Each structure stands twice: as structure tokens, then as C-alpha cells.
Amino acid sequence: MVAMIFTCNKRRLIMNSIPVSESQSFIGLDSLITRGVKHLASLGYRHGTIGNYQYIWKEFTQFTLENSNEETFSTDLVFQFLNSCGISDRFETNMTFRQRHIRNVMHALTDFALHGCFQRRSHVIEKTKLSDSMGKNLSGYERFCREQLWSPLGTVRSRKRDITKFLHYLDSHDIKSVKEIQASTLSRFVTSYAHLKPATLARLTSSIRSFLRYLHMTGSIDSNLVENVPKIRVRWGEHIPSVWKSEDVDALLAAVDRSSPCGKRDYAILLLAVRLGMRVSDIRNLRFENLLWEQARIEIFQTKSSELLALPLTEEVGNALIDYLRYGRPESQRRRVFLRANAPFEPFGQDNNLYYIITRYRRKAAIKLPVQNRKGMHSLRHTLASRLLEADIPLETISGIMGHVSMDTTRIYTKVNIGALQSVAIDPEEVTHA
């Protein structure tokens, strides 16, 4: 069995630790780029897009000539080239459009050098049709998770995305049946995603193990390959949640133009995250029947855990919702509260993390967050939890407010030290967690 252990403090070395065949490690750049261009064309990439890729790859070739004795590919040179462009290997940075483009193009070249193909992006994978046999395996597994395991909806969706990536990987390597999966297939698949954060990679491998158990149980594969999936070590609590300063949260909310329909919607969404700590998935799926106006309460079955959570419908949040529903929400028979601001006026898609909303107002308010901090909607949830902790609210109560199934998740916030945070956005006594 191949065991692959990743730790967060060795993140930069992950790509260099990937096993590469001798022919790949000494491949010339000119030959690699020529074959890469042909592969892009075979995948149907537009001529202009291919030209953009070639331009960056030629810049990389010139960099290699100036910084290496040999014009050969290596992941170390890729890291050096990205650093020379001001691109960090951190999970998230304040990059320009060009920097993001360079990073994506170089990741594509690395994928091709190491694995002979380009990894499809997640949103492309979701839209790409699987073969009939692979599609049946996926739909059968999804049904098994829902009907036999009673997995929460969020878990089913997450695992479906992960398994779809795996099945597309098999297809791109000319593996037409799950019966052809071997131990080496699993190790190569995991190494192809070695650029992910350890926690994300651990979730991916967990999904693969679950899928393999299902395949073996149903007789779709002869051998139980679960033990052949590389193990990913993630140190519990190593990641410190990203939190905002109180003044930055105030500036974020103040940046919203609440006179426009879109602004009314965005303000209500941000308040649900800032004041109540709701997850993006629960904000996105909020329905009219979840708003208990007479009881001044919001009741939801959480998307992630399917657990019931009741939160106070505070005056501030309630007024923002009323303002949006009366004067900002497009006319629609849809039962979900929040709709897209432009036609067609439909609810947000299940993969929409609303990142563009928080980014729009963060930039408008000129808020500068530390480079290493996460900047998505979930960081506002982290901030509320940290405020409650600073206000000496018991961990058990915070766990209930956050809707955590395990207290271990809540204990992570004890590592955060952001000084004296003055206000607590929500009265803990008004929260019930079933």
C-alpha cells in the first residue's frame, strides 16, 4: 500500500514529493509545451486561449534558461517562476487577474508534465457528461447515501462532486470500467490533487473510500481497495480561523448601497452571516417557511448536518429582510428567500458560495485583510464565534449557535486571540439547537 502523508507545514513541498517517472523528470520544455499545445487543441480549447497558454509557457521557458543550466521541467522551477511573478503558494492571496491566470496556466502545465492530462476545473467537471456505466455507478452511490446511509444533503452533494472528479480522472486515463481500478490508479489520482490543502485532500480521499466500499458491497469491483487509498494526515486544530476586526465588519456593512434592490438583498445576506453566523449553504437555501415572524425566530434544518437549528430573528435582521422582500426582491413564485438580481430571477445555485458579494463590498470599503486570512463568507461566521468567545460565552452555547455537531469544532476558536471585541451580535439565550 502506498501511504502518502501530508502536513500543513510542508505544503510547499507537496508537488516536489510526487513520484515522477524518469522520462517525465528529464523531459525537455520545448517538447513538453509542444505536446501540451496539441493536447489543448484536442480538448477543443479556442485558438486564442491556446495562444494565451503558449505565451505564459514561453515566459516560463525564458525564466528556466536564465535560472537553470538545463532547459528541462521541474516543479521547483515552477514554484520559483510563480514567486518571481509575485504569486504565493498560499491557499488564497490578493492576486490580480493576470497573476491568477499565470497560476492556472502553470498548474495546467504541471498537471500535464506529471500525469499526461489537464485536470478539469470543478465547475467544468459538474457539467461534463459521464459515460453510461460511470453515470450508473455515481447515481447508484448517490441513492445509497440518501436512502441507506441517511447522509445529510450537504454530505451527499460534497461526495458526489468528489466522486465525479474521480470518475472523470478514470475516463481521461482510458479506464472505462470501475473493475479496471487498481491500487496504482488510486495513488496517481491522489497525487494529481496534491496541490490541495491537506484538509481538502483528506475529505476527497474519504469520499473515494466510501465509494469503493459501495462498489465492493454491490459487487461492482472484486477486491476491496479501500486500504489502497493514500492516507492524508491533518493535524487537528492546526488551522486558526480567520476573523475580522470589528471596524472592518462595520465598514463592510456600511459599503452596501441599501437603496438598490441588489444592495437590499446583499445587506440582508451579510447580516445573516455577521449577526447570526449562518453558513452560506443555509443562507442560500433559506425559505419563507423558515421565517417565523410571530415568534421572532428563524428555524432551519442545516444543509450540512440536517440538524434543526433555531436562531433569533433580531430586529436588525428582520428589518433588512423586510426591506428586501418588499422593495428589492423580484416578483416570483419561488419559495427561497434570496434570488438572483438579474433575469432569470432564480435562486442561487447549490455551488454558489456568494464569494463575489463579500468581495465586492470588501473592495469598495478598501478593507485590507492579512494575506493568509480567508476572505469568504465563512470568515464572518468565524468572526461571530470569536466574538462570543471573547465575551465569555460558554463553549456549549457557542456550539449551539454555530450549529456544530461536535464540540471539537467549536474548540478551534479557543486558539483565536483578537483582543477585546466589544459587542456580541446575538443573545445566546435566544438560540435553541435540537
Active site residues: 279, 304, 378, 381, 404, 413
Query: 154 near 305, Cβ under 8 Å?
Result: yes
Query: Which CB contacts under 8 angstroms, 24+ apart, belong to 368-372?
Result: 369/242, 369/244, 369/248, 370/242, 371/88, 371/90, 371/93, 371/94, 372/90, 372/242
- Give Cα 300 to chain centroid, integer Å: 23
Q: How far is CA 314 from CA 14, 105, 297, 357, in A?
A: 47, 47, 8, 22
State the greatest distance between any 2 C-alpha atoms of the chain, in Å, as a whole number: 74
End-to-end CA gap in the chain: 42
Q: Which helix (H) or strand (E) holds 300?
A: strand 297-301
Q: Which residues contact 29 (CB under 8 A, 6 or more apart)?
A: 57, 60, 61, 64, 71, 72, 73
**Measured between alpha carbons, how far is residue 71 from residues 19, 85, 194, 363 in Å?**
20, 19, 25, 41
Report d(CA 264, CA 361) in Å as an integer. 13
CA distance 184 to 153: 32
Counted residue by residue, the chain has a size of: 434
